[in-house]
Amino acid sequence: MYIKECTKCLLSDADTKQITFNDDGICSYCQFFDQQVASLPADKNLFLNKKVDEIKAKGKNQKYDCLIGLSGGLDSSYMAFLAKQLGLRPLVIHLDNGWNSDTAVKNIEKICDKLDFELYTYVIDWDEFMTLQKAYLRAGVIDIEVLTDHAIYAILYKLANKFNIKYTVNGYNYETEAIMPKGWTYNKRDFSNIKDIAAQYAKNFKFKTFPSIDFYKSLYYFWFVKLESFYMLNYVDYDKSKAKEFLIKEIDWTDYGGKHFESVFTKFYQSYILPTKFGIDKRKAHYSNLICAGKMTKPEAQEIISRALYKDSELAEDKEYILKKLKMDEAEFDDLMKQPPKSHNDFKTDQPLWNKYFKLLKLLKFGK
């Protein structure tokens, strides 16, 4: 079978069917990257300062003027320092889903101590979260991380509503995250999908404390809370290697060895579950971003991804730890890895409700 690979980045039509190429062989994801970067203002520093002034003005006379989600990873850690330098007064949010590495916990503590930021840690009910994760593994869907991300969204909106905060400062940035093939992730806010997977693969499960946002709560937050995400790192000269050096010097920050590896489960998910069951190596997307940003050459990236994702001894150790914590039999897990994947769209979704909502908005607009 002939595989067509992008002449610029690492992606090919073997990685995703939703990929096209221009006459120069450059893929649609690289073109999307260029469009996103080109959409940024010419004077990024001016825009940054105006937005920061706006955040401060909206948060005047309040305890906090914004929310920051902190994982202890590179992007969010560096962003926290920028927020401090710019004079913002954030409430720092961290979700403890039971999978934090010791390194992540130490990084978070060092950052908040150094910057004198208040830390709000939400400790998720482990039995509830464990049951949901096992349901996702048994369902065979690709985005197990939906559970963590959905809970983070729910906590952010709940706190924004409680403290009348209008902005969340987000570590997402085009230069390192714009490229992510369609089909490799799923809509993090689709609670109907979560509920249906739980109903089918977690017998007698009841949602008790899991932070969630359903369709109707989403509408409430959209119309009345109006929380805006500000992607601060898009408006600074963000160089990952320099950011690491800065954090190590300032707080003795510890690197995890991979994107999102601050979570033990995420490391195992990206380095074993995704490639084993779904044939996906997320490093291709991560390094393709750096290639497009001019921070890495394609040969350099190819050399890195030619290396094994896991050392055999490390894989065995992580697998044993994760299955023990999940209370899952190894034979069942290994069998699940061999089963064909299922689509998230095989389960109920919020999409029909959103379709009706947007149809209604269109009718109301034309009815005026």
Lowest mean pLDDT, pick from 49-53, 298-302, 345-349, 363-367? 363-367
pLDDT in the model for residue 348: 98
Confidence band, pLDDT 50/70/90 cuts, at residue 102 = confident
Predicted local distance difference test score (pLDDT) of residue 366: 62
In this predicted structure, the answer to whether residue 365 has a pLDDT above a threshold of 80 is no
Residue with tokens 């010097």: 249
Beta bridge partners, 263, equal 100
φ and ψ of 263, to 5 deg: -100, 130
Residue 241, pLDDT score: 87
Q: Quick check: 169 pLDDT over 60?
A: yes
pLDDT confidence of residue 97: 93
Mean of the pLDDT values across residues 182-198? 97
According to the model, what pLDDT value does residue 263 have? Answer: 81
Q: What is the mean pLDDT of residues 47-53?
A: 97
Let me know the angle formed at the C-alpha of 365 by 359 and 368, rounded to the nearest 5 degrees: 140
pLDDT of residue 50: 97
Torsion of CA 262, 265, 271, 277, to 10 degrees: -160
- Given a cut of 70, whether residue 367 has pLDDT beyond it is no
**What average pLDDT does range 177-196 have in this prediction?**
96
**CA of residue 224 relative to chain centroid, distance:** 25
Partners of 228 in the β-ladder = 167
Identify the DSSP state of 186. -
| Average pLDDT estimate for 78-100 | 95
> In sequence order, what are the residues at sequence separation of 6 or more whose Cβ sits closer than 8 angstroms to the Cβ of residue 98?
124, 126, 129, 130, 325
Residues 136-155: what's their mean pLDDT? Answer: 97
The mean of the pLDDT values for the chain is: 93
In the structure, what pLDDT confidence band is assigned to residue 239 with cuts at 50, 70 and 90?
confident
pLDDT in tens, 289-348: 999 999 999 999 999 999 999 988 899 999 999 999 999 999 999 999 999 999 999 999
Q: What average pLDDT does this structure show over 40-48?
A: 95
Of 198 and 100, the structure prediction assigns the larger pLDDT to 198
- pTM metric for this prediction: 0.93
Find the mean pLDDT for residues 156-172.
95
Which pLDDT score is estimated for 261?
A: 59
What pLDDT, on the 0 to 100 scale, is given for residue 101?
Answer: 79
Q: Please give the Cα distance from 305 to 177 (Å, whole number).
A: 17
What's the mean pLDDT in 179-207?
96
- Mean pLDDT for 130-139 is 98
| Whole-number Å distance between alpha carbons of 346 and 297 | 39
CATH topology of domain 43-346: Rossmann fold (3.40.50)
pLDDT band per the 50, 70, 90 thresholds, residue 70: very high
- The answer to whether 326 and 133 are in contact (CB under 8 A) is yes
pLDDT at 259: 54
Residue spans per domain, the chain: 43-346
163, pLDDT greater than 80: yes
> Average of pLDDT values for 116-141?
97
Round to whole Å and give the CA distance between 170 and 104: 18
pLDDT confidence of 150, banded at 50, 70, 90? very high
